[in-house]
Amino acid sequence: MNGSSVLVVEDEALILLDIQSALEEAGFLVVAANSAALAIEAFDADPQSFKALISDIRLGSGKTGWEVARHLRQANSALPVIYISGDSDIHWGAEGVPGSVMIAKPFAVVQVITALSTLLNQHVPASPPPSQN
């Protein structure tokens, strides 16, 4: 099934587990990655299998969440993106991809689920026009 998983990127294990568990309980399929490199590798292996990205900004050494989102948007320009950060939200306007959402840490996971649901509802794939019989 195309676009079935949400890619979650967070280098803090407990936060990653909390987000993953909450999304799965809400009915989402989740692919979790604890680094930018693993997230990009998972996405590049099958870009069509992802319907959204949730990413921390600071992911330890290597690429940032800003860079992960830009990489994914090269393959899917309409991919819904949610950033989560404890201190990088002031850079969202300059660094974030268009149409993305920023959620500041600490947050309640319901905020992430609500933002994801909202973005996914706004991003309805085009359907063929109804047939005229």
In a domain, 129, yes or no: no
What is the per-residue pLDDT for 124?
56
H/E stretch holding 38: helix 36-45
**pLDDT tens digits, one per residue of 3-20:** 699 999 999 999 999 999
Number of domains in the chain: 1
Task: State the Cα–Cα distance between residues 28 and 20, nearest whole angstrom.
Answer: 9
**pLDDT tens digits, one per residue of 110-121:** 999 999 999 999
Q: Looking at the DSSP assignment, which residues form a beta bridge with residue 30?
A: 6
In a domain, 105, yes or no: yes
In a domain, 132, yes or no: no
In a domain, 16, yes or no: yes
User: How sure is the predictor about 129, in pLDDT bands with cuts at 50, 70 and 90?
Assistant: very low
In a domain, 128, yes or no: no
Q: Could you tell me the residue range of the domain that residue 99 belongs to?
A: 5-122
In a domain, 130, yes or no: no
Cα 103 to chain center, whole Å? 12
Q: Mind spelling out the 3-state secondary structure of 5-27?
A: EEEEECCCHHHHHHHHHHHHHCC
Whichever domain contains 66, its CATH number is 3.40.50.2300
**Is residue 44 exposed (0-12), middle (13-18) or buried (19+ Cβ within 10 Å)?**
exposed
What is the per-residue pLDDT for 102?
95
Q: Looking at the DSSP assignment, which residues form a beta bridge with residue 55?
A: 9, 83
**pLDDT tens digits, one per residue of 24-72:** 999 999 999 999 999 999 999 999 999 999 999 999 889 999 999 999 9
In a domain, 127, yes or no: no
